[in-house]
Amino acid sequence: MGRSFFGRTDADLRFGSVAFANQISDSPESFGLSPSDAAAYQSLSDIYIASYEVANAPGTRTKGTVIAKNDARAALRAMASTLARKINGTATVTDAQKIGLGLSVPGAPTAVAELGKPDQCSFALEVSGALRLKWKCVNARATGTVYLVSRQIESIAGERVTGADREMKFLGISRKRRFVDLTLPAGTSQMVYQIQAVRSTAVGEAATFNVTFGVRAGQSLPRQMVDATQKLAA
């Protein structure tokens, strides 16, 4: 059922139990309980409160009084849990009544955030030729979200790639909003990356990013590439 006054600290249990006992004793039937339920709980509550005070007083705190308090706490919590189940099983008891008793009330299911479309992708080329990708994405921190990364080679050394070599190929999965492409062919001058968020059976909209490398005179690709530029594909 979640956290309630009887699932927290000793102090919470002490003060919460008093309010709980008073309310169910005044009108047990309105909570789906019987007078004997209320009386039994009141008795256990009184025992716990007395043992709590003894165990927490400097002059009477001993190993024995602490054990007695812990035993009384276990019995009270067990009884509170039993009565809470009865209360929750009574259709006429409202959430407001449960909250008034100090019981937790499950909230409405939280809607799962929709998967966003990756954007603002930036690139950084390393001396080794590896290309680092980093992007942003709405709801990126939703639990279980991963990203599928694919790449299509458009041109190598200025020459247009054709046929099967120009197909979009899957590179890997990233659990974070970044990825390192370690398989970029030497001389690649233009490519397209596709990034798509996935969570369980949900699939977000794929985003594509064009990447074009500029070359200074006398330099080769990709180990000495410079002036990398990128834009979001239309």
- Contacts with 163 (C-beta within 8 Å, 6 or more apart), sequence order: none
pLDDT higher than 70, residue 207: yes
> Given this model, what pLDDT does residue 77 score?
86
pLDDT higher than 50, residue 221: no
Angstrom distance (rounded) from CA 139 to CA 4: 31
> Given this model, what pLDDT does residue 16 score?
81
DSSP 128: T
Angstrom distance (rounded) from CA 192 to CA 168: 8
Angstrom distance (rounded) from CA 125 to CA 121: 13
DSSP string, 2-61: ---GGGS-HHHHHHHHHHHHHHHHH-GGGGT--HHHHHHHHHHHHHHHHHHHHHHSTTT-
Look up the pTM and report it: 0.47
Least confident window among 15-19, 25-29, 124-128, 224-228 = 224-228
Query: Would you place residue 231 in the very low, low, confident or very high pLDDT band (cuts 50, 70, 90)?
Result: very low
Instruction: Find the mean pLDDT for residues 113-138.
Output: 89
Query: For residue 173, what are the β-bridge partners?
Result: 148
pLDDT higher than 50, residue 45: yes
Q: Which tokens belong to 81?
A: 């849990």
Percent of the chain whose predicted confidence (pLDDT) is above 90: 42
Q: Which tokens belong to 112?
A: 């799962």
> Given this model, what pLDDT does residue 195 score?
95
pLDDT higher than 90, residue 95: no
Give residue-wise pLDDT tens across range 146-204. Answer: 899 999 999 998 889 988 888 999 999 898 999 999 999 988 999 999 999 887 667 88
Percent of the chain whose predicted confidence (pLDDT) is above 70: 81
> Given this model, what pLDDT does residue 214 score?
63
Give residue-wise pLDDT tens across range 106-125. Answer: 664 445 567 889 999 999 98
CA angle, 154 then 156 then 159, to 5°: 85
> Given this model, what pLDDT does residue 131 score?
94
> Given this model, what pLDDT does residue 116 score?
86
Q: How many Cβ atoms from other residues are within 10 Å of residue 165's Cβ? A: 11
Angstrom distance (rounded) from CA 160 to CA 135: 27
Instruction: Find the mean pLDDT for residues 15-43.
Output: 91
Per-chain mean pLDDT for the chain: 82
Give residue-wise pLDDT tens across range 13-26. Answer: 887 888 889 899 99
Q: Which tokens belong to 135?
A: 């992007």
Q: Is 175 helix (H, G, I), strand (E, B) or coil?
A: coil
Q: Which tokens belong to 179?
A: 């990825």
pLDDT higher than 70, residue 142: no
Q: Is 203 helix (H, G, I), strand (E, B) or coil?
A: strand
